[in-house]
Chain A
Amino acid sequence: MSEIALAGVSKSFAIAHKAVHALAEVSLTLPKGGFYALIGPSGCGKSTLLRLIADILRPDAGSISIGGHPPAEARKRHEIGFVFQDASLLPWRSVLDNVRLPIEIAGRSVANPADPMQLIELVGLADFAHARPSQLSGGMQQRVSIARALALRPKVLLLDEPFGALDEITRQRMNLELLRIWQETGTTAVLVTHNISEAAFLADRVHVLAAHPGRIVAEIGVGLARPRTLALMRTNSFAQAQNALRDALFGEDGAAEEEAEIAAGQAPT
């Protein structure tokens, strides 16, 4: 449960000897315990932003802090959980051993790791604890990788389009599970997505990015009550939240540049 803060963060890559500005002067603050979404077209640098927070990449300029410390420190203290686009499980390890991997790596430096078996139950795979990843469907593999990301009770949980490769039905189910898990653990969650309804359904606040150079163009609070259920998706307030995101993404007479706040809609009926 750490606050994440970015101040003036820039990052460019050299692609074919040309500098491409993946991110320019990004500043944002994500208070602890919340659920945040980063949304934008491909190439807007949203995955880069997540990788900077996780210390997979280093910023060219600006500073990042997780709970007041640099990301490298948070990473070495095993405070970051990361869920990749592909489940990236180690194929020779069983489900249980994959979930146990972070605990093996941390050794005794993490005093109070989660019980891997409980995590596997949490993601609904108790019957598959000893299966190999190749024996699981894509959705099940991604659930294993979520369980693995939670093994060290991370203070921040970073998710990079975790359900992008899944079909719509599985994706909805996974989103519900993710919300339940997030609420049980109380971690600060940051989700990268290009799916408008997913962002509106999961997040407290959505940061909208634009490309060339990658930058944040809007911050939209989603005032929908929790716990959120599938019934919520049929309500007007959910439709309004989606519309606000759509306007920010595609521009509605330049309204995208302004900060929009959606009135906390009536509780889902």
Chain B
Amino acid sequence: MADGASLASRVPAARRAGGFDVARFARSAAPMVALALLFFLVWHLVVQAFAVPPYVMPSPIATLRTVATEWHGIAGAAAFTLRNAIAGLVVAFTIAILLAALFVTSDVATRAVLPLVIAIRTAPVLAIAPLLILMFGRGIGTSIAVVVIVSFFPTMVNAMRGFRASHRSALELMHVLGSSRLQIFRKVRLPFALPFIFTGLRSAATSAVLAAMLAEWLSGAPGLGTYILNAAAHSRANLLWAAVLVSMAMAMIMYSLSSQVERWLSDWRG
């Protein structure tokens, strides 16, 4: 997926052509498919070579079969978790950009609010979980809150760095032109910061799935995290590993989604 993203950004013409290019998709997907096959092969060999019992880790074929037979249950749980992860990421992204913009424009705000932000980030989610559940309930609310707490920080830190990355002469130019603060932000600071912001977002995107599952472990909401917990409690390794496989696929989907958003916003910038 990373390959697909960088290929597309290197070849803007292909992007502008519009429509779905099957050949291009095949080319960008080929390395990923090859890697997935290699992954399954290694998994298979490890299970064979060390004679891993199926109640610890089933073979990839057995696991894939379980994904197929239990698809209904897994897909329902995965959809719940994925939705929470995406919603949390959107909220986290918005908060991160607003806080970063606040911190780079006001030293007073930085001194007043940044320690609080770091404190929230540092508080173990396990410890504040009861509070979150009390405030946001056992459903999507707590999940979003946990995803936000876990994933806004890398985006915010990168965005702050990005907002400070504008070239000095570009800022001086805007000043001489008599621009308002908002114009400087919109036309110079934000576009200069975009690559930094998306570095943070991509790292946040992959951990968002994990954070959403963490929230379910704490709140018991019916997502993939709870599904894995139940499978483990009933010693059903097949279900457990099928769910793990699906959660990995979800993290990849999140990563490629954030790359896609980056491409849209880069188009807007240009």
Contacts and interface: CB of A to CB of B under 8 A. Distances in A.
Interface of A: 51, 54-56, 75-78, 80, 82, 84-86, 88, 90, 92-93, 101-102, 104-106, 152
A257 B172 CA distance: 34
Interface in B159-200: 167, 169-170, 172-179, 183, 187-188, 191
B170 A88 contact: yes
Main secondary structure of the interface of B (DSSP, over half): helix
Interface string B135-174: 0000000000000000000000000000000010110111
Interface string B252-270: 0000000000000010011
Nearest to A82: B176
Given A90-B187, A90-B191, A92-B191, A84 B179 contact: no
Interface in B185-229: 187-188, 191
A77 to B, nearest CB: 7
B253 to A, nearest CB: 28
Contacts of B269: 92
Nearest to A86: B169
B270 A84 contact: no
B179 A105 contact: yes
B172 A105 contact: no
A158 B174 CA distance: 15
Contacts of B169: 84-86, 88
Given A55-B175, A90-B191, A105-B179, 19 more contacts: A55-B176, A56-B172, A75-B175, A76-B178, A77-B178, A78-B177, A82-B173, A84-B173, A86-B169, A88-B167, A88-B170, A92-B191, A92-B269, A101-B177, A101-B187, A102-B177, A105-B178, A105-B183, A105-B187
Nearest to B183: A105
Nearest to A132: B270
Given A90-B191, A92-B269, A92-B270, A105 B174 contact: yes
B252 to A, nearest CB: 28
